[in-house]
Amino acid sequence: MRDIPTAIGYLRRDVSGFRQDWDETRIRSRAKRLGYDLAKIVVFGPNTDAPLERLINVVRNVDADAVIVPTATHFDGAEIPAPLVNVAEVITVDPEQTYARWLLPPWPTTGQPHM
């Protein structure tokens, strides 16, 4: 078991444009602030085939706990992809949000035993 959780950064070159260096800096900063070891930043272009599948493969190969992305607009449809959340937490820099892969069970109602 690792002492420090691992994350990868992800961005689309065409979405970041001239802000790519700034977006990479923000990813590094968020990883450090949240206590992640940032293994790498994955940068895809608009012509990358099957970007979601490739990103999921990187997550699995690195055994990453999280993917940090500047904004949801770096994903198709500007939505956080459910298949990615199934394998890692997704953290957006702006707005600051975490899409957790694990959901806690609901709290028991009164009269039910706690497990």
Check which CATH number belongs to the domain holding 89 and give it.
3.40.50.1390
Q: Does some domain include residue 1?
A: no
Q: Does some domain include residue 108?
A: no
Q: Which domain holds residue 38?
A: 6-99
Confidence of residue 32 (pLDDT cuts 50, 70, 90): very high
pLDDT in tens, 38-53: 999 999 999 999 999 9
Q: Does some domain include residue 54?
A: yes
Q: What pLDDT does residue 106 have?
A: 59
pLDDT in tens, 79-92: 999 999 999 999 99
Confidence of residue 68 (pLDDT cuts 50, 70, 90): very high
Q: Does some domain include residue 112?
A: no
Into how many domains does the chain fold? 1
Q: Would the pLDDT of 100 be above 80?
A: yes
Confidence of residue 101 (pLDDT cuts 50, 70, 90): confident
Q: Does some domain include residue 53?
A: yes
Burial 74-96 (b: 16+ CB within 10 A, else e): bbeeeebbeebeebbbbbbbeee
